A = this chain, B = another copy of it.
Amino acid sequence: MTMPSASRRDRKKAATRQAIADAALELFLERGYDQVSIRDIADAADVSTATVFKHFSGKEALVFDQDEDREAQLIAAVRERPSGQSILDALRQHVLDTWPSIEAHPQAAEFTNLVNSTPVLRAYAERMWTRYTDSLSAAIADELGVDHDDLSCVALARFVLEIPVLARGRQDRRAAVDAIFGILTHGWEPPSRPPAQ
């Protein structure tokens, strides 16, 4: 999975990072996020606290270790879509193809629970996505040949990036994603009233 890095130095660096991330996740799942200090993690990984911050930007980042290059994939989905496909369809397809599988790995339940039960982690997770608003909207605007901060592109990007948050916790995530894209495609309409019981 992880490619054997070129130099020994890089390998050791990656190993250290991994040791920290592993120790952190284990302790978080065991005791809860707020009950684990950076010192605990550093001790468990047998490094100094300064080293922890050399590898991770902050305590929250220790939890979301593997979430990288999602941004690049997102942009690529827009830029390299099959000719003739609309941007909205390209985004829908990318979301359906990519995002649900993320939660399909082991420990997913515990992990999701950890995030959802820790306010600061929920907040961080939400911001992770919306942080890409600018680059996604720029890509969309580029494809359409309009200005980079075109409001309608920014709004679309933002709304699409809210989807993971909105679809989280739904029994049928696929249907949820479809429903939200339905709003973005055709506009919002009042949901049909369920039969009174």
Contacts and interface: CB of A to CB of B under 8 A. Distances in A.
A36 interface: no
B179 A151 contact: yes
**Size bracket, chain A contacts:** 35 or more
A99 to B, nearest CB: 16
A120 to B, nearest CB: 11
A155 B184 CA distance: 10
17 contacts: A87-B190, A146-B191, A146-B193, A151-B166, A151-B176, A151-B180, A152-B188, A152-B191, A153-B191, A155-B162, A155-B166, A155-B183, A158-B162, A158-B165, A183-B187, A185-B187, A186-B187
Contact of A130 (B126, B150, B151, B186): B126
